[in-house]
Structure 1
């Protein structure tokens, strides 16, 4: 048996066949390209789960299409060089940054939905313990709540926001109607512990969320006045120093305050979580951003980080597009026509890009050849 060179036969999605030496640059290129495609698919799934319920920065949305275009251009290459491997690795890094940003935004959505779901659970469980004529009404709410929990458990958090029948907002409104009915069904004396018990459970969560905020996060103190007022009302409602009617009113007012604070502070906690996740992404990917990372974490400033990462990502994608065009032109001896014929770039796009490169002194000269 004679020894010889082993080859790989690689077939891309468009049926283009590449023959490469085993362990060659082409094999490495294909592996990185496949990983980048998988990461972009994950990013697209994250975006689809966000687009109906949360605003995603425009630059992030644009990057999805731009990175898809990058991967298609890279996949169209027939001869692979070491420079191509570097290009595809850079593209993979940008895709992973994009995926990390969208994943962090999904976490923000998840934290908010799970906090709301837990709050509704406290209310339903405590109201269920009361002997009233609300069994039928409460039974329907419990059924919807069970379905809402299934959405959360199966990580379909966006459905818990957008669903007309099972949304958190719908259940909140129906539970508010229950409270209105309780006024007629319970004596003020019996209503106080119902309102108070729910408010105390919410306060426990609120303090846990607050403890998770950064030291310089303004939201640590922004709600201090409202929290103090809520606690005072609860103490007065439970002290029995006033009439049952006033104590019932105080307890319900405190409960309403806790419901609003629970929502607001859980969102602040979600923002803090996003900030920490994004800073970790910036550091791991060595991304150049124009902000102080430590300050952003301590302040829980997710918005600044999202803005900076979006800007850096867009800039790098555009720079990469320029580098790819330069390489394509070099491969085709500077010919615009041959470059256009070999890619999906049209001639006008190439000429516009060349004009920009000429203005930026990236191109020494442009030669026109007449027929």
Structure 2
């Protein structure tokens, strides 16, 4: 090999190394950002994610002290970039799940609030509740969600989604007290119908992609809901009652919760799809057949095994390079090449090549031959 060829080869390996390190840094930053947002929700990620991200961060920092890039260092950099990309994809999937749930919660409360405001305007009534303050908070919520600033929303002390949801329910009660039964019922029936259409569409969408109906049934949630048909079809000459108002109001509250629930289920299904796709794209072994063992879980809406598979990858395989894994398995089997090959399901001749490389790199200090 000429000096020119050697120089070009050295430059190529440096370029590949720097590209892998840059990719790892970029993906790690995105993963940390996603993780920070998810941790502020009601369903934070497990400690394994913090450990994995911290480990990758320490590894990327160690690359700053690399002054001679060997094939082993390049392998380590590529593996770190793969790990960072995997974690960025997984945390992004969880982030999008939570953002979708938040959007649904905001849109439902906004629709509910707007219907109540229309009710007041139709009746030209005064309401004791602070309508202007609630309106400002609703507008602030919408601005944050439309701008994608979910982290700012979750971190805000002034705007809490759960508090706004509670205030909308209180506002509903104040409107019931302020307007005539006829006005409230007219607006309330339309709102209840809209909510019902939305959760029906959610369920139909899930069934359409193959989810078992029984796995997402809401029969128990709607079984105690009053039948509004008598109220809806009552002749105009018959006066409505406060009982009718309470029935309509109760249905609105229940349907609002159900729409959030079914919206959450749709987002959860999408999360499962994204996690499975991430596993497939990573070419990592999860100890299960994705198509036979994991994907069917989506149809029965059992997402726990899918999420557990991802966590196992994060905790074990994805954080260990091929070289590190080989050394660990060798140590486990007291240096036995035969048992190591069986454990890794790797051809013995391929393992000998790897061992020779490790020996030349001083990763293995000695080799012993045992005759039987």
Whether 1:360 aligns to 2:333 is yes
Per-residue deviation, residues 210-267 of structure 1 (Å, max 9, x unmatched): 233253456654203434654x623232121786123222211211210121122222
1:250 to 247, 252, 271: 247
After alignment, is 280-289 or 270-279 more displaced? Answer: 280-289
Name the Cα RMSD after superposition.
3.1
Which residue of structure 2 aligns with residue 152 of structure 1?
145
Whether 1:79 aligns to 2:79 is no
Measure, in 2, the Cα distance between the counterparts of 1:148 and 1:309: 32
Measure, in 1, the Cα distance between the counterparts of 2:86 and 2:333: 28
Kindly report which structure 2 residues correspond to 1:1-371, keeping only aligned pairs within 5 A, or say none: 23-53=11-41, 54-130=43-119, 131-134=124-127, 137-213=130-206, 214-217=209-212, 221-227=216-222, 230=225, 233-240=227-234, 244-245=240-241, 246-291=243-288, 292-320=293-321, 323=324, 358-362=331-335
C-alpha change, 1:5 and 1:234, in structure 2 (3 Å) is farther
Measure, in 2, the Cα distance between the counterparts of 1:307 and 1:220: 19
C-alpha change, 1:249 and 1:193, in structure 2 (3 Å) is same
Measure, in 1, the Cα distance between the counterparts of 2:307 and 2:269: 12
Measure, in 1, the Cα distance between the counterparts of 2:217 and 2:318: 39
Q: Which residues of structure 2 form unaligned runs of 5+? A: 338-363, 367-372
Measure, in 2, the Cα distance between the counterparts of 1:70 and 1:358: 22
Measure, in 1, the Cα distance between the counterparts of 2:85 and 2:164: 37
Measure, in 2, the Cα distance between the counterparts of 1:218 and 1:66: 42
Measure, in 2, the Cα distance between the counterparts of 1:256 and 1:179: 9
Measure, in 2, the Cα distance between the counterparts of 1:357 and 1:308: 25
Asked whether the equivalents of residues 216 and 301 of structure 2 are also in contact (C-alpha less than 8 Å), the reply is: no
TM-score normalised according to structure 1 size: 0.78
Alpha-carbon distance, 1:28 to partner: 0.9
Measure, in 2, the Cα distance between the counterparts of 1:308 and 1:99: 16
Measure, in 1, the Cα distance between the counterparts of 2:212 and 2:52: 30
Which residue of structure 2 aligns with residue 349 of structure 1?
none
Measure, in 2, the Cα distance between the counterparts of 1:94 and 1:137: 51
- Aligned residue for 1:132, secondary structure, equals coil
C-alpha change, 1:276 and 1:318, in structure 2 (3 Å) is closer
Per-residue deviation, residues 87-136 of structure 1 (Å, max 9, x unmatched): 32222111111111100110111111000110011112111112321397
Q: Which residues of structure 1 form unaligned runs of 5+? A: 8-18, 327-352
Measure, in 2, the Cα distance between the counterparts of 1:217 and 1:91: 39
Measure, in 2, the Cα distance between the counterparts of 1:357 and 1:50: 38
Asked whether the equivalents of residues 36 and 95 of structure 1 are also in contact (C-alpha less than 8 Å), the reply is: yes
Alpha-carbon distance, 1:162 to partner: 4.6
Alpha-carbon distance, 1:357 to partner: 5.5
Alpha-carbon distance, 1:317 to partner: 4.3
Which residue of structure 1 aligns with residue 349 of structure 2?
none
Alpha-carbon distance, 1:164 to partner: 3.2
Measure, in 1, the Cα distance between the counterparts of 2:164 and 2:248: 22
C-alpha change, 1:280 and 1:180, in structure 2 (3 Å) is same
Measure, in 2, the Cα distance between the counterparts of 1:319 and 1:38: 20
